[in-house]
Structure 1
Amino acid sequence: MTKTIIFDLGAVLIDWNPHYLYRKIFEDEAEMRHFLEHVCTPDWNEEQDAGRPLEEATALLEAKHPEHAENIRAFYGRWEEMLGGAIEGTVEIFRELKQSGKYNLYALTNWSAETFPIAQERYEFLSWFDGTVVSGTEKDRKPFASFYHTLLNRYDVHPSDALFIDDNLRNIKAAEQLGIAFIHFTSPETLREALQEKGIL
């Protein structure tokens, strides 16, 4: 029986995408994609999610790609421009779950500790969670089992009582290996259908 629901944040409740910023910087879409695939890469960003300081991360890339220094600095210097709006359909589901009073609701997110406060100021619904575990603060991240255990242990959650919602299949599979039920998020509509099938909504 589900007692706890654990949400990922990015691409589930919050629309975050570097393209929102870099389309303002690059006139050519292919050049933008090349930059984000080969310079400010997802792997590089994940190290900040795992606790590496933004200043250190920026300096490392500037040294490696001096010809891109200005655009590298924009990644965190203009990071707020990567934030889109809330994903309203998911926020409405979250609101319904919160108002039901039936579930403990937590967030487990890969996010830099230095940028997460910006999101907290912008998205009021982040205060609705009963607890939030941020990778940059813990210096650990999904999909490592230790990061999931941080949440489970901190809030006394048994894996068999939990449901995990994430858009990333890698993270879903990690939760599954720990015995946590899951929903692979693709849209608010399919999430609502899945929760209704489980008798949660």
Structure 2
Amino acid sequence: MTARIALFDLGGVLLDWSPARLYSQIFSNAAEADRFLAEVCTMAWHLEHDRGVSFADNAAPLIARYPQYEPQIRAWQSRWADMFDGYITGTDRLIEMLFGRDVPLYGLSNMPGEVWPQMLDMFPALHRFREVVVSGQIGLVKPDPAIFHYTRTRMGDPDPRDVLFIDDLPRNIAMADALGYQTHLFTDAARLESELIRQGLL
């Protein structure tokens, strides 16, 4: 069975996002930057943004614990754009090709809701999607099956077998597989293009 709808993750698939990119600019010492991301602004801490906790509320207890790092902690929000380096090479081209073929395009992203308007300004390709489900706007995160069920309703309740879900994290792919979606574990645009062709989407 071939897919008729493409459902994209954003960070790590379409958008080149890395907190290390920002903090390598902030810290002159690479080891200190690595330690900061491992012990202070961790991915577990950031996941709370993705769940809908505001930057201000999430930063407050961290600043209380690490007052010496207050400017660096606040930079997570104030310099959010500096974590990005454009699109993942080639994926934006695939979005344009799919859009040109009238393939229904949807997004499902673990992302802070507060930054979504900024993201739309930064990345024109995001306007090609019929809708993007942003975790921070609804208080659910991948791989919770509830966010997949919510996204399915936003897509018009298609058969999951009609949807190709593209993500770079195996745990998200595993959940989508379990829910009956067709899936592609993203590694690069060339392999994704081959899968889109195999599916008849390109």
Q: Could you state the TM-score of these two structures normalised by the residue count of structure 2? A: 0.94
| Displacement after TM superposition at 1:88 (Å) | 4.1
Match of 1:169 in 2: 170
Match of 1:154 in 2: 154
Match of 1:56 in 2: 57
* Partner amino acid, structure 2, of 1:194: E
Contact 2:4/2:104 (CA < 8 Å) preserved in 1?
yes
Secondary structure in structure 2 of the residue aligned to 1:157: coil
* Partner amino acid, structure 1, of 2:151: L
Gaps of at least 5 residues in structure 2 are: none
Match of 2:78 in 1: 77
Match of 1:127 in 2: 127
* Partner amino acid, structure 2, of 1:64: R
Within 2, Cα distance between the matches of 1:122 and 1:78?
13
Aligned residues: 200
Aligned alpha-carbon RMSD (Å): 1.2
- Identity, % of aligned pairs? 38
Q: Could you state the TM-score of these two structures normalised by the residue count of structure 1? A: 0.95
Secondary structure in structure 2 of the residue aligned to 1:114: helix
Mapping for residues 18-37 of structure 1, pairs under 5 Å: 18-37=19-38
| Displacement after TM superposition at 1:198 (Å) | 3.0
Gaps of at least 5 residues in structure 1 are: none
Within 1, Cα distance between the matches of 2:124 and 2:71?
32
Q: CA offsets, 1:79-104, max 9 Å, x none?
A: 12112112240011111111112x21
Contact 2:108/2:151 (CA < 8 Å) preserved in 1?
yes
Mapping for residues 159-198 of structure 1, pairs under 5 Å: 159-198=160-199
Taking a change above 3 Å as real, the CA distance of residues 157 and 64 of structure 1, as seen in their structure-2 partners, is farther
Within 1, Cα distance between the matches of 2:117 and 2:158?
25
